[in-house]
A and B are shown apart, each in its own frame.
Chain A
Amino acid sequence: MALRNEILLSVHDLKVFFHSDNTVSRAVDGVSYDVREGETVCLVGESGCGKTVSALAILGLVPQPPGEIPGGEILFKGKNLLDLDEEALQEIRGKEISMIFQEPMTSLNPVFTIGDQIEEAITTHDTVEKTEAHRMTVELLTDVGIASPEERMRDYPHNLSGGQRQRVMIAMSLACKPDLVIADEPTTALDVTIQDQILHLFRELKEKRQMALLYITHNLAVVAEIADRIHVMYAGIFAEVGNVEQIFRNPCHPYTMGLLASLPSRARKGQPLYSIPGAVPDPAYKPQGCPFHPRCPYVQENCRREFPEMCDFEDHHFARCPVTYRQRKGS
């Protein structure tokens, strides 16, 4: 269904490098994806694979220096965000694209009240009366399920629990009715029951507001619940791209297979949990050829030398692994 909608955000071959004394970390090394109106796109991967950086790049929040965006384009409603100057970006941040961060504990300013911080998000982009901003804030807080919003508005962040703070962050990100919300591991810092409530809230809000969601997580269980399309990221590139059905039923990249095999729900009783051997490579010293080859059980001689192509497995289902492609297609 979602594939029929208009493309809202289109990222082409985005690269983000970080320079330190003598090394260059290729944090994001050429990723391309589309987010369509009303669609939920997930970026999944281990810590340090470049998920957050690729999201920060959309809003122009990668600190430069040490960061550098040497190539690619980020088209949002046809405009390349990488070409915009700081002021033009400020117009887009919070108004058309907003972002929710991982740590609700530290992402709200401790010295301003909740009400002030949400009202500020409204008044920055829309000229509205103070009373109108207040009314809108109450409405937003009600929408995200905060009880007695009038009173909570006078509270400071430290008065609220982690789940409540994340709800406040969500309310703030919705303040100007953005077309795209980027959520960077919004449930990671919360415990499981709260996590479930927040996910539920996301689904509900998406339905109600028809917004697109770019959801970044390392949690496959979360992905299965909300994603329309999934991008599995590894060492700054996409390993596999597909919808929930394709990724979970028919994983084509050895990395995705490893991730799915390591889900606790797939472990057999009495057997140790599966884990992919090795660790994510340092983005400054990536292996030659396929970045996954040192950890891959199906590695072949070619994988060590040549960077793999994106292979088209089935309808809109791609994986960067020629080895499985040859196996599956039976040649």
Chain B
Amino acid sequence: MLAFLGRSLIQKIITLFFVSVISFLIIYLAPGEPSQIDPLNPIFTQEVLERFRKEFHLDKPLHVQYFYFYRDLISGKSVSWKDNRPVLGKIYERFLNSLPLFILGTLITWTLSFPVGIHAAIRRGSFYDRSTTFLAYLLISIPGFFFAYMLIIFVVTQFHVPVIGMETFGISSTGWSWLMDRVWHLLLPSILFGAGGIAVLSRYVRNQMLEVESQDYVRTAKAKGLPADKVHYKHALRNALLPFVTMFGLILPGLIGGSVIIESIFSWPGMGRMAYEAILARDYPVILTVNFISAILVLVGTFISDLLYMVVDPRIRL
């Protein structure tokens, strides 16, 4: 066990190093440079540009820039080139905004996908199965942005509630009405986030469950005389759940990348939107830091998956 932990930690540090090098290179291979973001602006004279390049070490060779950047990141001194604010502070603020959306969306996805998928598998070919299949493919094929606008129009015209942003602009009330305002703003993007997730995840659950239902040990369980519920929910489900343990670890990175489109549509000041805006502004420190944190989240996620797998599957001993 300890050997596994040590080995896993070393492997993940090595992976992280390569991720940092490659992501750094990719950013610099992309055309354009932060100093050229607005070449027609008369304020950016040649001297200003040179000073700018010097100040941000852009005139140094690549490996030196790499060293400067990660030194600043690890010591926490890295600042955004756009507004000179510390990158970590900026990300933390946006992270707190993204968190409720992420948690609620994930909860909706995971709590609804399983019952929907399991029932569809158990009643394979029934009306229920066919209608959930149809709905799932409908949700997968409708573009998210289109579906979002339809929902916004519907909710705003029917219920007369504001849905854009995290709260109504300039709201001054406190207490109950403030809370309800927040909830209303949170609800629509979370439902959208969840709907896309349910469409995909419930299909996985259904297929996995169908696969397990045809296994020999499920037949053995029936031949023992177990009631149908025990056959399905104990013997089959327990095995069908195993692959989802892996997926559960991998939802962590979704904190950053999972909601760019939804956050943009709803003007939600979250991490995804910040990363998108940073790319447009060629704000390298923010892009690279977000990238680095994503990589860490992926590695932490896989690590958690490995541990969970060991807990749920007796065949796996690390």
Assembled-state Cα–Cα distance A86/B216 (Å): 20
User: What 0/1 readout, one digit per residue, does chain A (122-150) give for beta carbons within 8 Å of chain B?
Assistant: 00110000000000000000000000000
B interface residues, Cβ below 8 angstroms from A:
215-217, 219-228, 235, 238-239, 242, 312-315
The answer to whether A95 has its CB under 8 Å from any CB of chain B is yes
What CA separation (Å) do A59 and B219 show in the bound complex?
11
Indicate whether A318 reaches chain B with its CB closer than 8 angstroms: no
Question: Complex Cα distance A108/B223, Å?
Answer: 12
- Inside 8 A of A158's CB, which chain B residues have their CB? 314-315
Q: How far is the CA of A194 from the CA of B54 in the complex (A)?
A: 79
Q: Which residue of B lies closest to A169 (CB)?
A: B220
Over the window 78-91 of chain A, the binary record of Cβ atoms lying under 8 Å from chain B Cβ atoms (1 yes, 0 no) is 00000000110011
Contact of B217 among A108, A120, A121, A124 (CB under 8 A): A108
Q: Within 8 Å of chain B (Cβ to Cβ): is A109?
A: yes
A107 to B217, CA, bound (A): 4
Nearest-CB distance from A182 to chain B (Å)?
A: 9
Q: Judge whether A2 is part of the interface by a CB distance below 8 angstroms.
A: no
Task: Determine whether the beta carbon of A101 is less than 8 Å from that of B216.
Answer: yes
Contact residue among A86, A108, A125 (Cβ-Cβ distance under 8 Å from B220): A108
A92 at the interface (CB under 8 A from B): yes
The CA-CA distance from A124 to B223 in the complex, in Å, is 12
Closest chain A CB from B234 CB (angstroms):
9
Q: Which of A86, A91, A121, A172 has the most CB of B within 10 A?
A: A121
Q: Is A99 an interface residue (CB 8 A)?
A: yes
Interface contact B216-A106, CB-CB below 8 Å: yes
Residue in contact with B221 in the complex, picked from A106, A109, A169, CB distance below 8 Å? A109
Is B224 a contact partner of A93 (Cβ separation < 8 A)? yes
Residues of chain A with a CB closer than 8 A to B315's CB: 110, 156, 158
Q: Which residues does chain B contribute within 8 Å of A94, judged by CB atoms?
A: 223-226
Q: Mark A153-172, 1 if CB is under 8 A from B, else 0.
A: 00010100000000001001
Contact of A121 among B215, B224, B228 (CB under 8 A): B224
Q: Does A13 contact B (CB under 8 A)?
A: no
Report A234 CB to chain B, min CB distance, Å.
25
- A68 on the interface (CB 8 Å rule)? no
A61 with B222: CB separation less than 8 A: yes
List residues of A (182-235) whose CB comes within 8 Å of B's CBs: none
Residue of B nearest to A102 (CB): B216
Decide if B217 touches A106 in the complex (CB within 8 Å).
Answer: yes
CB distance from B127 to the nearest CB of A (A): 15
Q: What residues on B are CB-neighbors of A112 within 8 Å?
A: 235, 238
**Minimum CB–CB distance for B316 against chain A, Å:** 10
Given contacts A61-B219, A101-B216, A158-B315, contact A110 B225 (CB under 8 A): no
The reply to whether the CB of A54 lies closer than 8 angstroms to some CB of chain B is no
Chain B, Cβ-Cβ closest to A110: B315
Q: Report A59 CB to chain B, min CB distance, Å.
A: 6
Question: Is the CB–CB distance between A61 and B217 below 8 Å?
Answer: no
* Chain A 29-62 interface 0/1 with B at a Cβ cutoff of 8 Å (1 = within): 0000000000000000000000000000001010
- A98 CB–B CB distance under 8 Å: yes
- Nearest-neighbour CB distance to chain B for A90, whole angstroms, equals 5
Can you name 20 extra interface pairs (CB under 8 A) apart from A124-B225, A125-B225? A61-B219, A87-B227, A90-B227, A93-B222, A93-B223, A93-B225, A94-B225, A98-B223, A98-B224, A101-B216, A106-B215, A107-B219, A109-B235, A110-B239, A110-B314, A110-B315, A112-B235, A120-B224, A121-B225, A156-B314
Central interface residue in A98, A111, A124, by most chain B CB within 10 Å: A111
| Nearest-Cβ distance from residue A151 to partner chain B, whole angstroms | 15
Q: In the bound complex, what is the Cα–Cα distance between A109 and B232 (angstroms)? A: 13
Bound-state CA distance A93–B223 (Å) is 6
Contact present for B220 and A109 (CB under 8 Å) = yes
Is the beta-carbon distance between A86 and B217 smaller than 8 angstroms? no
A103 on the B face (CB < 8 A):
yes
Q: Which listed residue, A90, A107, A108, touches B225 by the CB 8 Å rule?
A: A90
Known: A93-B222, A93-B225, A101-B216. A109 touches B314 (CB 8 A): no
Q: Is the CB of A86 within 8 A of B228?
A: yes
Contacts of A99 in B (CB 8 A): 223
A92 contacts across to B, CB distance below 8 A: 225
